[in-house]
Structure 1
Amino acid sequence: MSNQKEFKGNVAKFVTIFLITVGIFFTFNNHSIYASSSYKYGSITVPAKNGTICGAPNYIAYEKGFFKKNGLKANLVAKPTNIGDLEAGFSSGKYDALNGDFQYLPAIQNGAQILAAGGLHQGCIEVLVPKNSSIHSVKDLKGKTIGTPGQGSTGQYVATIALQHAGIDVKSGVVWKTYDYDLLTKAAEKGEVDAIATVDPFAYQAQKQNHFRVIVNNNNSSNSTKMAKMGMKKSGSCCYLYLPQKLVKENPAKAAAIVKSYKEAAAWIDKHPSETASILLNKKYVAETKFVNHKNVANLIKSYHFSLKGKEGKEDLKYYAEQLKKAGFLKSNTNVKKLIKSAYYKN
């Protein structure tokens, strides 16, 4: 009798353990299936973190779930300042999307495997001088030294467009120096450079905290004729969404999901500038200061008019290519129409 009870007890234990094991297996398996179905297109890596406000589409697509909604598991990493590192990242498959400026046109002409997929917003770049500077117009920049975040940066290109519209040779008529974003203002105050060309929030901080004066602003959303005469295109795009050619060719559905995520994020930002500012500052994507605060960041976001522009963005990129060709940053024999056609994403 005791053996029979012991046998029944062992059977009961075995059945219990078996049921628990089966339950764990199915729970884990169902979770795996759910996880994989949540991210239909797998993972993407986005070089996003560089402290700028114009990178908002990266952060909002992530924080508000647009990447996840479209089947993408996004990993936001630091954005290299060197364009060569970004090119290498795209070519190797390390990076899958980029919120960047029109500065990549020369790189694309030289073989970088990158496609522009639409303009994301209007201008966020300015050329500034210290408050007591003798410089009051673009023409006054002749013979001066201009600080930028990097050789071939969009800050340099915006200044370049304004210089050539003022009849100043962009290579022999000025001197270029490069500094980290957060050192540009100090360089000008110390007299190491006469002017700086940089992006928000660094440009905005220089205005509000250091009382720098704006000579050029590439945000011409007001359709100012004065700004247009400096070469600042009316309602022109500034930052673009870029995709690696390899991804577009090998996985067009995934590429389309990335584009859709950014389109939805840009539209959301335009409707919710205040909440966007809160996310950028609270999540430390943008460093908060006395002047780079919620109210001011929200106002800057409003002024950028976020929206993923396909056809219009392509026309804007063509304009920038023409300007860079005139300045000598693109080859003198460049067929601009052909370059833009090959450099633009077709969905």
Structure 2
Amino acid sequence: MADNDDQHAPEQGGEPDDALTAPADPPAQVDPEDEDLAAPAEPDTPALSRRKLFAGAGIAAAVVAGGGLAAWLTTRRTPGAGGVNRALKIGYGGGVCEAPLYVAHHEKIFEKHGLNVQIVKTGGDEIKDAVGAGKLDAAPGIFFSWLKPIEQGIDAKLAAGLHEGCLRIVVPPDSPIKSVAELRGKPIGVGAIGDSAMSFFSLDLLDAGINPSEDIDWRVFAADQLTDALVRGDIAAIAASDPNGLLPTLKGKARELTNNSQGTNRQLYCCATAINGRLLREDPDVARALVTAWAEGSRWAGANIPQTAAIEVDNKYVAADQPTIEAILKTYGYNPSAARLESEITSGIAKFAKTGYLDRKTDPNALAGKVYADLGLNW
């Protein structure tokens, strides 16, 4: 699933990271009174070189085909959630990896759980404030990108992991670089300082003995310029979420060095369900139904890749041909879990703190308590 704070179009710049191209007229629009949720325009600045800057976070998303579970999932219902008939507003950024949300909406899985869900196109950092303020009831969120806002007091929590696997580092096909450890001192192109890919792969850099904020020359490029910068030799590698991480490889202009389904950090979820705190406190049954339905959407997507790609293309969530979307979705691993997210949060926070993104005084256990919403879900 994509985090809305770092999504970008692959060939057009100016769109959120993880999106191929956001439609001009998205399926659901922000209500007039919520105009502050509209996604901001991307800056036109082609490239910025910034060393020793590390802010923001995030990771973007993924899935594994779960074949054979679809029939069971579509008949399963959340205990105690029947008849809630609650209207909810969920934000999305228009990314390929937000497939679980699109599926749960269009396959009427939310309705099966008694929920009337409107999905609202938005993006940028304001989506976190909107969820925290209750303007949105929930949003798909990059695990790491929500840690700092929650640390600072935003009224939202993460309730379940949705998928992993859509973040990649790619290098030119003929590059001599064979491992992350060989990136020390090299210029790496990213969509934004502190975006999902930069944040996640900083963990891999730490494992290789590299200080991500001092030993790497992070260079910011618009999404549609990353591949050209790699081909020109302006950067030695691209760290990006899909589709920008995968498209250069599909086009034969790069080879994949690593992704977030490999290495010592592969157990960390990238995308999760971020839920408004007031909803969690006042109506936990509704929150439980929402998270369960969302997870069913994730498993359904993994078991039905062609149908999921068709949902994304036909409803103009992304502007690309279906074979391309299918190729991207097939690289993911859908394995939604509330219990697994809970088990990974504390260790993930402790390790992520070493990047310098979180407050140095942060207690991982205390922050984990603020981050995770225990809805009694055992899956």
Cα deviation 1:194-250 (Å, max 9, x = unaligned): 322111222221111143122221113xxxxxx22xxx234x422111101122123
Which deviations, in whole Å up to 9, do the C-alpha atoms of 1:45-103 show, x marking residues without a partner? 222132x322111100111011222233322222413x2x1222123222111112122
Higher relative contact order (CA 8 A, sep 6+): 2
Match of 1:60 in 2: 103
Q: Is the 8 A contact 1:201 1:292 kept in 2?
A: no
Q: Is 1:233 matched with 2:275?
A: no
Alignment match, 1:299: 330
State the partner residue of 2:228.
186
Q: Under a length normalisation based on structure 1, what TM-score does the superposition of the two structures give? A: 0.77
Aligned to 1:341: 369
> 2: CA distance between counterparts of 1:182 and 1:331?
33
- Contact kept in structure 1, 2:180 and 2:208, CA below 8 Å: yes
Q: Give 1:268's aligned residue.
A: 300
Which structure 2 residue ranges, 5 or more long, are not aligned?
1-81
What's the secondary structure of 1:292's corresponding residue? helix
Give the Cα–Cα distance (whole angstroms) in 2 for the partners of residues 192 and 47 of structure 1.
35
Distance 1:106 1:156 in 2: 15
Distance 1:96 1:149, change over 3 A: farther
1:159 matched to 2:201: yes
Query: Any conservation in 2 of the 1:87–1:113 contact (CA below 8 Å)?
Result: no
* Cross-structure match for 2:357: 329
Q: Secondary structure at the match of 2:245?
A: helix
Task: Please say if 1:316 is aligned against 2:344.
Answer: yes
1:150 maps to 192
Q: Which residue, 65, 70, 86 being the options, matches 1:41?
A: 86
Q: Please tell me whether residue 119 in structure 1 is matched to residue 192 in structure 2.
A: no
CA RMSD between the two structures: 2.3
Quickly say closer, same or farther: Cα 1:206–1:106, change in 2 above 3 A. same
Question: What is residue 69 of structure 2 aligned with on the other side?
Answer: none
Match of 2:131 among 81, 90, 106: 90
The counterpart of 2:255, out of the listed 213, 217, 234, is: 213
Alignment partners' CA distance in 2, 1:214 and 1:297 = 14
The code of the aligned residue for 2:86 comes to Y
1:130 deviation in Å?
2.3
CA distance in 1, matches of 2:163, 2:174: 32
Aligned-partner residue type, residue 260 of structure 2: N
Letter in 1 for 2:167: I
Q: 1:298 to 1:166 in 2, by over 3 A?
A: closer
Change (3 A) 1:137 1:80: same
1:243 is the counterpart of 2:287: no
Residues 124 and 298 (structure 1 numbering): CA distance in 2 closer, same or farther, change over 3 Å?
Answer: closer
SS at match of 1:308: strand
Query: Which structure is higher in helix share?
Result: 1
Residue 261 of structure 1: CA displacement? 1.7
Query: How many residues are treated as equivalent by the alignment?
Result: 293
Of 270-279 and 306-315, deviating more is 270-279
Deviation at 1:134, TM superposition (A): 4.1
The answer (yes or no) to whether the contact 1:97–1:258 under 8 Å persists in 2 is no
Match among 142, 164, 170 for residue 101 of structure 1: 142
Distance 1:47 1:210, change over 3 A: farther
Asked if structure 1 preserves the Cα contact closer than 8 Å seen for 2:310 and 2:322, the reply is no
1:125/1:198 contact within 8 Å kept: yes
Change (3 A) 1:290 1:240: closer
C-alpha distance in 2, partners of 1:189/1:290?
A: 26
CA contact (8 A) 1:49 1:78 kept: yes
Q: Secondary structure at the match of 1:150?
A: coil
Please tell me the residue identity of whatever aligns with 1:163.
L
Q: Output the amino acid matched with 1:87.
A: K
- 2:70 is the alignment partner of 1:70: no
Give the 3 Å change call, closer, same or farther, for CA 293–66 of structure 1 in structure 2. closer
Following superposition, the deviation at residue 143 of structure 1 comes to 1.5
* Partner amino acid, structure 2, of 1:318: T
Distance in 1 separating the partners of 2:221 and 2:298: 30
TM-score by length of 2: 0.71
Give SS of 1:323's match. helix
Q: Residues 205 and 291 of structure 1 are in contact (CA less than 8 Å); yes or no, is this contact kept in structure 2?
A: no
2:159–2:372 contact (8 Å) kept in structure 1:
yes
CA separation of 1:160 and 1:274: change in aligned 2, threshold 3 A = same
State percent identity of aligned pairs. 27
The 3 A distance-change label for structure 1 pair 191 and 79 is farther
